[in-house]
A = this chain, B = another copy of it.
Amino acid sequence: MIETSTVPEILSRARKLIDQGLHRAIDSLSMELRPLASYHLGWTDEQGRKIDGDQGKGIRPALAVLSAEAVGKPAEAGVLGAIAIELVHDFSLIHDDVIDNDVERRHRQTVWALFGTGQAIILGDALNALAMRIVLDPALVGIRMAKETDSRSLAAAAKCLADATASMISGQALDMAFEHLTEIDVAGCLAMEAGKTGALLGCASSIGAILAGAEEAQITALERYGIELGMAFQAVDDVLGIWGDPSATGKQTFSDLRQHKKTLPVAIALTSKSKHVSELSKLLTEEEINEFDIERLAGLIEECGGKEAALTEAKHRFESALNVLKKVDLEPNAKNELVALAHFIIDRKF
């Protein structure tokens, strides 16, 4: 009899599994960087005092752990990958906050806002290097891999991580370029989002299977599931970035529009056949946009079908993620939990 855990149980179990290794990883940083990493992770406040802060949902580590179980191995086989993914994710958040000039994350000051740009750059770099180091040398965080995990599996996991990091960076570069463009198409926007969000979720969803020495077909399917899920998540995030309730998102109203982000709803609206497209284009080119125009902009994007089509895209990507899982031989319980996680990621407050 299979008993599928609830999402909070899945997430909390993954958190517990990575806890010791993640602490050891952070402890291996130099004295100067450790308090900054600990602050970012929500373990300490700006004075270095222990707190019970918001550590994020931990979806990526949960995916990594489940991906090992999905191929019939114990969750522990995925823990190394889960820690590495978490570190790469943190590195990307810390650098993105500098790049996007964001002063707040999870209702706290961002690292650069509190400690300065230089410190945020170096901390991100350190977490990135740390992720690669531990995957190539698990003993560094006291993880003893199963005997059958050879250097081939570790090299493959490291490659998964490096490739995903590279794709994520390309996506971020494209995202930045879009801020200065008004002519963008849907395909370009989807490519950007596949990189920015899909790649790391794809790696998270397969790195445990890679470390567990799974078959190629299983690894490919799990990675695809993660990429599709990432794109579904991003499409929802794009809608929230414009129409989300500030009290739920923790961001300003119309936040993405204020930052000149050209996300999926904007790309869809711009390439629609609506009579409003030219007005939309014009408003998007304005360097400084007032409150009245920003509301008008959001309204135009909706009228051009951007909101609805983005949500439809999210739905399709979500279904596609689940379909991939159906077609491959995976351990049923872990598969159910991957489905549950997918639902959780997509069902967010508007």
The verdict on A339 contacting chain B, using a C-beta distance below 8 Å, is: no
Selecting from A132-140, A293-301, A312-320, A341-349, the interface stretch reads: A132-140
The interface residues of chain B lying within 8 Å CB-to-CB of A133 are 159, 162-163, 166
Q: Mark A166-183, 1 if CB is under 8 A from B, else 0.
A: 100110111011000000
Q: Give Cα A100 to B118, complex, Å.
A: 8
Selecting from A119-127, A230-238, A265-273, the interface stretch reads: A119-127
The interface residues of chain B lying within 8 Å CB-to-CB of A130 are 166
The verdict on A165 contacting chain B, using a C-beta distance below 8 Å, is: yes
Q: Give Cα A137 to B124, complex, Å.
A: 24
- Contacts known (A117-B117, A128-B125); A155 close to B151, Cβ less than 8 A: yes
**What's the tally of chain A residues with a CB closer than 8 Å to chain B?**
41
Could you write out 18 A-B pairs with CB less than 8 Å apart? A29-B170, A30-B170, A30-B173, A32-B176, A33-B173, A95-B121, A95-B122, A118-B176, A125-B165, A125-B169, A128-B128, A129-B162, A129-B165, A130-B166, A133-B163, A136-B162, A137-B163, A152-B152
Beyond A129-B165, A129-B166, A130-B166: 8 further Cβ-contacts under 8 Å? Answer: A30-B170, A32-B177, A99-B117, A122-B176, A126-B169, A128-B128, A137-B163, A155-B155
Give the 7 A-B CB pairs with smallest separation, nearest first. A30-B170, A132-B162, A99-B118, A155-B155, A129-B166, A136-B159, A32-B173
